[in-house]
Homo-oligomer: A and B are copies of this chain.
Amino acid sequence: MQDFIFEVSTKILFGRDNLKKLSKEIKAHGNKVLICYGGGSVKRSGLYDKIVANLKENNIEYKDLAGIEPNPRIESVKRGIEIVKENNIDFILAVGGGSVIDCAKLVAAGAKIEADPWKIVLGEERVREALPIGAILTIAATGSEMDNLSVISNMDTKQKLAWGSKYVLPKFAIMNPEYTYTVPKYHTAAGSADIMSHTMENYFSLNDGCYMQDRMSEGILKTVINYGPIAYNDPENYEARANLMWSSSWAINGLLGSGKSTAWSVHAMEHELSAYYDITHGVGLAILTPRWLRHVLNDETVEKIATFGKNVFEIEETSDRFEDANKAIDALHKFFKEELNIPMTLKEIGIDETHLREMADATITHNGGNIMGFVELSSEDVYEIFKESL
């Protein structure tokens, strides 16, 4: 186990009855709020009105940043920063899923600098402070409510890049599973795949002695495998929504990856698909993951993949560990396809041969060289994985 620092101070208010505490939580940090949200579902569901009523009752002023995209774009961030600066906003409230929270994070950090916020994403501008952020979560997926990461897209340059800073860890997150009842089936499935992918990115590593973290990862994976299909088929099942929501936070807040160095190989590849085609992140991850695992299956990795099959999918061990590992990969593919109805080929989501080579090269470029993860991946490896995923 490598040395690490774990510090996740986000206050989680989980359950049905916490929205009434919103203004009190905000007032610990600020009193002029930018409410960030997406395409309007928070207005249709009535959540926005409840939030605004709570703020008004408590004399908290607010402005809106509406229309944040599913893969949040730098233009929305800039719009947010302008509103913040014009109105002396001192608190950022993100209402939505990972896209909205990720956008809010860059607004919070970007508002503290004069330079173009895209420079933060590129690592050219260092984050030294940020406005405090709160989140009201409406979809279980990215875990952005309890981590310090953010992914922002720049469609002009075809870049979708991750950045992070301890200063943008949300101060609090209100997590009411009921708010996810209206998440459409497709996004419930994609969110489940996203949680699983975060967990697997942490899980698939070699001989690092992080046994506890791996057993915890298997626990998260079993949870999503159990409840993803239930939430898909029965959207208002509280228990399923609650377990998915709480899993989403723990998949990526640092616990499962503590003491490890992991490369997040599939995320690096998927970011190129989204940057080129603006697809749903979780769907891209679901398509790529089994192909990636098959591609990296070798004498060194077979034991870990077979263990995954046994502990997560309860696949009986045989004397042939490659057989066990292949069965595990099959089970994962089948779960995405049959239990979550995810389109499991790139063609089904509108991606053909055209840009595969270009996206494979971009994966390696944006990674700053070969991906040194579970198994080292070159541009050629990524291209092969893309082709297998067609």
A residues at B contact (CB < 8 Å): 1-18, 177, 209-213, 215-216, 218-220, 222-223, 226-227, 238-239, 242-243, 246-247, 250, 255, 258-259
Contacts and interface: CB of A to CB of B under 8 A. Distances in A.
A246 B239 CA distance: 28
Nearest to A226: B211
A259 B14 contact: yes
- Copies of this polypeptide in the complex: 2
A147 to B, nearest CB: 14
Contacts of A259: 14-15, 242, 246
Contact of A4 (B6, B14, B218, B255): B14
Contact of A246 (B11, B212, B227): B212
A359 to B, nearest CB: 35
A8 to B, nearest CB: 7
22 contacts: A1-B243, A2-B15, A3-B14, A3-B17, A4-B14, A4-B15, A5-B13, A6-B11, A7-B12, A8-B9, A14-B259, A15-B259, A209-B243, A211-B226, A211-B243, A212-B223, A212-B247, A215-B219, A215-B220, A215-B222, A218-B219, A250-B255
A331 to B, nearest CB: 17
Contacts of A15: 1-4, 259
Contacts of A227: 211
